[in-house]
Amino acid sequence: MKKILNIFSSKKSIKEKIKIQVDNRERNSLVPSLLSKDFNIEWKQLPVADYIVKDIAIERKTVSDLKSSIINKRIISQLLELKQYPKHLLLVEGILDKDLYNGGIHENALRGFLLSVALEFQTPIIFTHNEEDTAKYLYVLAKKDKSPESGLRASKILLSKEEQIQFILEGFPNVGPAKAKALIKKFKSLKNIFDASEEELKEILGARAKDFKGFLD
């Protein structure tokens, strides 16, 4: 009896799907689900970024996430951590003029921040309309000619005590980096700053000293 050739038993290896690493916090997003049709999604607790596509780190933020992270200063450490990857980008999702510039933060402050991201942090920014649009960008990125893996192991950046104190102070209204550093230099600790009188604070904060004390109370 003539042996029938099994065309499915070819020894040629089946081409593996490209792997995309996704942070566990993205499980509620539609983006990984859309990508899973074409790519191998690997869920991980990523120390840096939300997606790693062929050694490119992507921090994904919705418009509301972006605004809140600017207000609480969390975005600063995230951008610094992102720069551990030679190739990285900030992806802002849900960009519509009415949403971008309304509520939460003054429109010129937001424009100034976006300029800082591009010029000072040297981080490219991609704007997408929604989760489907985000998935399409990541699809195109993953399908581009593959670059060699660098084996980079990124990690959270540990801030010094003085840097942590500075971030806390900058979270107060009208306290920028310069005033925060001046307060630290003069009073040495958060306790001393918070215990200082309005008159003592006026030397650095001026008329804003009253608002600062009022915020503490």
Residues 137 and 190 in one domain: no
Residues 25 and 85 in one domain: yes
For residue 13, tell me if it sits in a domain.
no
Neighbours of 139 (CB within 10 A): 17
Closest listed residue to residue 63, CA positions, set 128, 124, 4 = 128
Angle formed at CA 112 by CA 106 and CA 118, multiple of 5 degrees = 140
Q: Read off the pLDDT of residues 122-170 as tens digits, 9 standing for 90 and up.
A: 999 999 999 999 999 999 999 886 554 555 566 666 667 787 788 778 7
Angle formed at CA 207 by CA 216 and CA 171, multiple of 5 degrees = 40
Top-confidence residue, 188 or 137: 137
For residue 169, tell me if it sits in a domain.
yes
Reported as a pLDDT band with limits 50, 70 and 90, residue 8 is very low
Residues 65 and 120 in one domain: yes
Number of domains in the chain: 2
Residues 115 and 32 in one domain: yes
Mean pLDDT of the 104-113 span? 83
Report how far residue 196's alpha carbon sits from residue 190's, in angstroms, rounded to the nearest whole number: 10
Report how far residue 157's alpha carbon sits from residue 164's, in angstroms, rounded to the nearest whole number: 11
Residues 115 and 174 in one domain: no
Range of the domain at 138: 19-143
For residue 52, tell me if it sits in a domain.
yes
The rounded percent of the chain whose pLDDT value lies above 90 is 38
Report how far residue 32's alpha carbon sits from residue 131's, in angstroms, rounded to the nearest whole number: 9
Where would I find the H helices in the chain?
Answer: 31-35, 63-71, 74-82, 97-100, 107-119, 131-143, 161-170, 177-187, 190-195, 198-205, 209-216
Work out the mean pLDDT of the chain and round it to a whole number.
83
Report how far residue 191's alpha carbon sits from residue 45's, in angstroms, rounded to the nearest whole number: 35
Residues 128 and 170 in one domain: no
Residues 202 and 136 in one domain: no
Neighbours of 183 (CB within 10 A): 24
Polymer length in residues for the chain: 217
Q: Minimum mean pLDDT among 21-25, 131-135, 181-185, 211-215: which range? A: 211-215
Report how far residue 43's alpha carbon sits from residue 33's, in angstroms, rounded to the nearest whole number: 12
Q: Minimum mean pLDDT among 77-81, 84-88, 132-136, 168-172: which range? A: 168-172
